[in-house]
Structure 1
Amino acid sequence: MGGSVGAIGSSGRRADWRALPTDHALISGILQAFGGSVHDRMDDMLDSARGEHVLNDCYNNNIRNLAIIAHVDHGKTTLVDALLKQGQVFQAHQQVGELIMDTNPLERERGITILAKNASVSYRGVKINIIDTPGHADFSGEVERVMNMADGCLLLVDAVDGPMPQTTYVLRQALQQNVAPMVVINKIDRPEARAEEVLGLVQDLFLELATDADQLDFPPGTDMQPLFDAMLDSVTPPTGDPDAPVQMLVAALDYDNYLGQVAVGRVTNGTLRLRENVTLVTRDGEETTHSLERIFVFHGMERVEVSEAHAGDIVAVTGPEGVAIGDTLASAEDPQALPTIDIQEPTVRMTFGVSTSPFVGREGGRCTSRNLYERLIRELRTNVSLRVETTTSPDIFVVAGRGELHLSILVETMRREQFEFQVSRPVPVTKTVDGKTHEPYEILTINTREEYVGVLTEYLAAHLGQLLDMRYGENGYVHLEYKIPTRGLIGFNAFFLRTARGDGVKNSSFTSYELMDGDIKNLRGGALVASEGGAAVTYGLINAQRRGDTFIDPGTPVYEGMVVGSRRQDGDIEINVCKEKKLTNMRSSTADVAQRLNATIRMSLEEALEFISDDELVEVTPQNLRLRKMELSSHDRKRQRRDGARARG
């Protein structure tokens, strides 16, 4: 979490925190909020939470289903680590480390949660199913698909950042699905923490989303016990009738090499029994009958096989084939489908194509059109925010997602699976409304030092950004808020990192589709393009660096049409980086001056996608990322430019 948990509050239900001790290194205070004084109304609230009028509709009082939601980097995964450790999920001799739930290598490398995950802990005889969700806006589809499994949620808010765009989004999702939120103010031990101000902003956020909110206060607390108590007292047990016909909405999919496809979801009604026949009802209303071969529930980090699962529990089942997220597993005698999961549409798309590089097949084993298409279709089974479309070419597919990061994670995953392919620059997904083109807009928030504001403002103005808010804070930091089209943000990440030198934070989230208007200025400049194939040499690269910056080292294999560098001026330059210095038997009158190469520019996948222009591609292999022109031949590129000029008149 990067700091202490500062406050916990619940919406609509309350518990008494006065008798609880405190460990300031983990939890500095407990927030009892959104509904009046604890001291005056404690008994009434506890009776309300535990009384018969609540339990009449709750058939499984020993279960709580809880989602952890927040903006990116506000401490969700670290909070889950603490809950699992204090919930005694692990044995005393086990070395579990940190980021326990982030098992994907990409999640650990990037420090973000990409996929929603399930675990459970037991406290006071009650099983608490925990759903850890991503915080980045590009993976908000994961939040949408799992929210239906939860009865309550912990909303984490950073004591420095306060409510951010994704905070608003995940809270709106929770309230729309009647998931009771508890507010946790995190990282209050940071020197720049502003807990009281953030609490006011949280109240404003609840009021904005049509939820009642009252004054917040801070009784003291200690370890994770207050949080566990809040889960039991503030989150209602799951509703559902174990004697009704069985219903389960599939919210996640997994695959096991031995068991096959695994469907994960919450049992809404009825009881799932081993070897029992169930009806799979798809989104389109098609029905097929299957037998349940295995039923698993979550205990700690493990799946434990059981013979039956009751209404309210989160389970994983095998047996049904061809299951998709949003399908319903229902009673074979009375199949009734549940409402499907509503997922927002993608906002960014790019092409995935079969590699046409001269080096194809050298570094990866999966490079055919069939390999590529099957892998993309398989991704659709679990990645609910993704869309894949075919094109007029059998070797090119259009893939759309929630943002650049969403798509780049897919590219990096496939790269590690030994795929070779090529991708285009991301572009926004547009819509036609009343004959006019509309494009997605996003709200961009920036917190950085005052000295960088001028450069950032100039860049964003050139990319059609509209300044909505500007606030000067303490210690020389400025908060900026912009409304900007998604196409204006493509390439901004690398620019922001270079400009702010790591001393700043930016976040963006989709807000609406609006009329496309205005052109974005090209600030990139031209490219240095290899005119011949071979191995790059020092002499050739020195000549190239007289014209710009280079991306490759001596000895790197290149081919015609490969982008080997960039230049500040507009227009591409063809250059032979394989050209060696001619040797003669003539001695120079003066000694040759020693020449050294400048440092090579190394690009990450995201930087490469942001750098390329509309006529360029990124060649992706397990070992390398290469930038190239769509048309490798210089003659073909000249003809293409000539034809384009004629078409424009």
Structure 2
Amino acid sequence: MRTDVNPLTAVRNLGILAHVDAGKTTVTERILYATGTIHRRGEVHDGTTVTDFDPQERDRGITIFAAAVSCGWDGHRINLIDTPGHVDFADEVERSLRVLDGAIAVFDAVAGVEPQSESVWRQADRHGVPRIAFVNKMDRAGADLDTAVASIRERLHPAPLVVQLPVGTEDGFTGVVDLLRLRALVWSDGGATAEVVPVPEDLREEALRRRRLLEEAVAELHPGALEEFVERETLSAGTLAGALRDLTRSGDAVVVLCGSAYRNRGIEPLLDAVVAYLPSPLDVPAVRGTHDGTAQERAADPRAPFAALVFKVNATPTGRLTYLRVYSGTIEKGDTVLDAGTRRTERVGRILRVQADRHARVDHAVAGDIVAVVGLKSARAGSTLCAPGTPLVLEPPGVTEPVVSVAVEARRFTDADRLASALARLAEEDPSLVVRTDPETGQTVLSGMGELHLEVAVEKLRLVQRLEVNVGRPRVSHRETVGRGVSGFVLRHVKQDGGAGQFAHVVLDVEPLQDGFEFRSAVVGGRVPQEYVRAVEAGCRDALAEGPLGGHPVTGLRVTLTDGATHVKDSSETAFRTAGRLGLREALRACAMLLLEPVVEVTVTVPEDAVGGVLGDLAARRGRVSGSAARGGSAVVTATVPLAELFGYATRLRSRTQGRGTFTARPTGYAPAPAATPAR
């Protein structure tokens, strides 16, 4: 009897994650070449890669925008998203991870786990995305697979299961030993495919030892493998592969492979691992959403009601592209879909299979597909699109609050309206960019995740929109917090101007909190009804928008409603919300407030002879050094530095180290600013 195989089992939706310069884009390029999707290998340094197609990406040599491509391997369709590695574009990674079923984490064989690779790993943990690891650049001087794996174990805390042994070291790296099948894969210079040969005699004993270690590690983690291991004292290749698949998909372990993407070595086994270990849309839990406050699930079934999540919007010269992950159902050209958040319906004009900046038209897309559609006018990143008759709201990707701002104005007065429109379009494409008008100066302020993030946005205004703009000096976004609180602060809100009046009496305690905002009610005897308590909390949250020091958002406090009073006729939720807002605002003026500034963890890599100058420069920037280590002839210094002190640091570092120094930074939160720091 013939059994039909669900075609979704042959789909893999995955991303490439890594620290900047670990080789993500080169890995993506070699995957496209190995699968026959492209016929010429592009290079990042030549500006000829498929996924880094934006002019700024090619000029800067880094990935800025997530790019989607599709390719085929061993009867499977792989939808691949190449994500940025720079911390300023972490939200682009966040939006991509939200719609992925698996990922390849790329690590530098010399540097191991670097700061941003740790950050994206944690992002993938939050989304429950299974990963396999690829230790890249095995041909570099100082490359060491075991050291890189040790850093994965120590800093990321998964159980790394190494399934390959390198053949050759550094420049002599020519291939890998497959520990599951105990065979060697060797690539010749310029060769596109591997030659399968027996394990070299000088590596056979080491290969058998590592195979044994792999079997023992898998048996410890997988009950089925343990049963066979106890019975036979070994594991078959089939059992080992099945256990590795289960452990990868559950997140209990990560399979580790190695290679050199630049020299096209290790890519075919990596693709085999993607197919063998990472999940299909059917292997991940059904997507969960809500409708009218009720939780619902939608299975990855083309016959189920349509539901998709928008994860990217891109305005192109030929139209607005809306990128979707289809979770259930089928969408066809000409269909009408409902934006579940805004309750607006829109018509799908065209459906495109995306190949970076190239697109192929398709008639329909089904559950498990990642496609772009043309014709939607109002859908934003995070919007849920669904069948009009079966609405569902899916959880949108999180958006990080911006930490750096610049004032932007058009050089020509006549371009003011064009600038406003262009900025609105930027914010639509990238939700981590925020545009607002400063109420004091009337200036248009653009806020983002870092100096580079804003540079890219402004350059896009100039290149794409053909706008000449003036940009102010970057400024960080401060916060305010409570250093010492107050107790028993009374606010009596009474308003009588004819007709129904307003009456609300509240008594608030305000105290410091480690982070965030917490509201509690300690009112007894029903002196303040529960619906009014909720209104007081809403008013307090309104008051957090502007603190007394300089109008910055307030965080790190607990507010307790301890008492209150109502009026038979004049009390209402509106009155108590107003009392909560005014009461907390006045209470904060009575508190001892602290100004907070954003701080980042900086990792500086410099020649050893330049360490002294770098340490002195960091100290002058109010940096606190937390560690240093030697790595391959260089020194790696880690420090915590206020973000405001890092503007222009890249240029300063290059001049101090004759261009040989590099640094990366990742946000770590907020810390009290010195008393001399201006509040605005």
TM-score, shorter chain, exceeding 0.5: yes
C-alpha distance in 2 between matches for 1:319 and 1:72: 34
The Cα shift of 1:257 comes to 4.2
C-alpha distance in 1 between matches for 2:332 and 2:651: 53
- Give the match for residue 135 of structure 1: 85
Are 1:151 and 2:194 matched, yes or no? no
Distance 1:354 1:196, change over 3 A: same
Distance 1:463 1:200, change over 3 A: same
- Give the match for residue 108 of structure 1: 58
Distance 1:299 1:100, change over 3 A: closer
The Cα shift of 1:154 comes to 0.7
- Give the match for residue 613 of structure 2: 455
> Which SS does the other structure have where 1:487 is aligned?
helix
Are 1:279 and 2:338 matched, yes or no? yes
Residue of structure 1 aligned with 2:139, choices 189, 199, 214: 189
The Cα shift of 1:353 comes to 2.2
Are 1:269 and 2:316 matched, yes or no? no
C-alpha distance in 2 between matches for 1:419 and 1:118: 28
Residue of structure 1 aligned with 2:479, choices 431, 445, 461: 431
The Cα shift of 1:384 comes to 2.1
C-alpha distance in 2 between matches for 1:113 and 1:438: 32
- Give the match for residue 406 of structure 1: 453
- Give the match for residue 385 of structure 2: 329
> Which SS does the other structure have where 1:469 is aligned?
strand
Contact 1:353–1:395 (Cα < 8 Å) also in 2: no
Q: Deviations over 1:323-363 (max 9, x none)?
A: 111001111101101101102111111111233xxxxx5xx
Residue of structure 2 aligned with 1:298, choices 349, 354, 360: 354
Residue of structure 2 aligned with 1:238, choices 258, 264, 281: 281
- Give the match for residue 250 of structure 1: 310
Residue of structure 2 aligned with 1:506, choices 645, 663, 679: 663
- Give the match for residue 491 of structure 1: 648
Matched letter for residue 156 of structure 1: V
Distance 1:237 1:216, change over 3 A: closer
- Give the match for residue 23 of structure 2: 75
Matched letter for residue 456 of structure 2: I
The Cα shift of 1:401 comes to 0.7
Distance 1:184 1:340, change over 3 A: same
- Give the match for residue 590 of structure 1: none
Correspondence 1:234-633 to 2 at 5 A: 234-239=277-282, 240-258=300-318, 260-282=319-341, 286-298=342-354, 302-355=358-411, 368-392=415-439, 396-416=443-463, 417-434=465-482, 435-475=593-633, 477-517=634-674
Q: Deviations over 1:240-295 (max 9, x none)?
A: 1222211111001123444x32210210111112222210123xxx2011222211
Tell me the TM-score normalized by structure 1. Answer: 0.66
Residue of structure 2 aligned with 1:178, choices 120, 128, 137: 128
Contact 2:33–2:40 (Cα < 8 Å) also in 1: no
Distance 1:507 1:145, change over 3 A: same
- Give the match for residue 606 of structure 1: none
- Give the match for residue 572 of structure 1: none
Q: Deviations over 1:14-68 (max 9, x none)?
A: xxxxxxxxxxxxxxxxxxxxxxxxxxxxxxxxxxxxxx9xx99x87112111101
The Cα shift of 1:455 comes to 1.6
Correspondence 1:21-60 to 2 at 5 A: 60=8
The Cα shift of 1:428 comes to 1.2
> Which SS does the other structure have where 2:456 is aligned?
helix
> Which SS does the other structure have where 2:394 is aligned?
coil
> Which SS does the other structure have where 1:197 is aligned?
helix
Q: Deviations over 1:444-490 (max 9, x none)?
A: 01111222222211121121100100123443x21110011111212
Matched letter for residue 422 of structure 1: N
Q: Deviations over 1:112-162 (max 9, x none)?
A: 111100111111111101101111111111101111221111111111222
C-alpha distance in 2 between matches for 1:497 and 1:256: 36
Matched letter for residue 320 of structure 2: Q
The Cα shift of 1:299 comes to 5.8
Matched letter for residue 438 of structure 1: L
Distance 1:93 1:74, change over 3 A: closer
Contact 1:252–1:263 (Cα < 8 Å) also in 2: yes
- Give the match for residue 125 of structure 1: 75
> Which SS does the other structure have where 1:456 is aligned?
helix
Are 1:160 and 2:72 matched, yes or no? no
The Cα shift of 1:502 comes to 1.2
Q: 1 or 2 for the larger relative contact order (CA 8 Å, sep ≥6)? A: 1
- Give the match for residue 225 of structure 1: 268
Contact 1:151–1:238 (Cα < 8 Å) also in 2: yes
Distance 1:437 1:97, change over 3 A: closer
> Which SS does the other structure have where 2:77 is aligned?
strand
C-alpha distance in 2 between matches for 1:271 and 1:217: 40
Contact 1:350–1:400 (Cα < 8 Å) also in 2: yes
Choose between structure 1 and 2: higher helix proportion: 2
C-alpha distance in 1 between matches for 2:153 and 2:69: 30
Q: Deviations over 1:533-569 (max 9, x none)?
A: xxxxxxxxxxxxxxxxxxxxxxxxxxxxxxxxxxxxx
The Cα shift of 1:215 comes to 6.3
Contact 1:348–1:400 (Cα < 8 Å) also in 2: yes
> Which SS does the other structure have where 1:381 is aligned?
helix
> Which SS does the other structure have where 1:295 is aligned?
strand
C-alpha distance in 2 between matches for 1:152 and 1:308: 24
Contact 1:146–1:251 (Cα < 8 Å) also in 2: yes
Residue of structure 2 aligned with 1:62, choices 10, 34, 40: 10
C-alpha distance in 1 between matches for 2:49 and 2:432: 25
Distance 1:90 1:327, change over 3 A: same
> Which SS does the other structure have where 1:60 is aligned?
helix
Contact 1:59–1:242 (Cα < 8 Å) also in 2: no
> Which SS does the other structure have where 1:419 is aligned?
coil
C-alpha distance in 2 between matches for 1:94 and 1:466: 41
Equivalent pairs, count: 452
C-alpha distance in 1 between matches for 2:441 and 2:414: 13
> Which SS does the other structure have where 1:61 is aligned?
helix
C-alpha distance in 2 between matches for 1:496 and 1:392: 37
C-alpha distance in 1 between matches for 2:302 and 2:394: 16
> Where do 5+ consecutive residues of structure 1 fail to align?
1-51, 356-360, 521-612, 616-649
C-alpha distance in 1 between matches for 2:39 and 2:109: 33
> Which SS does the other structure have where 1:150 is aligned?
coil
C-alpha distance in 2 between matches for 1:106 and 1:92: 22
Q: Deviations over 1:187-219 (max 9, x none)?
A: 111112233211100111231xxx444567523
Tell me the TM-score normalized by structure 2. Answer: 0.63
Distance 1:116 1:367, change over 3 A: farther
TM-align CA RMSD: 2.7
Matched letter for residue 414 of structure 1: L
Matched letter for residue 381 of structure 1: E
C-alpha distance in 1 between matches for 2:356 and 2:659: 37
> Which SS does the other structure have where 2:22 is aligned?
coil
> Which SS does the other structure have where 2:429 is aligned?
coil
C-alpha distance in 1 between matches for 2:406 and 2:51: 30
The Cα shift of 1:368 comes to 2.7
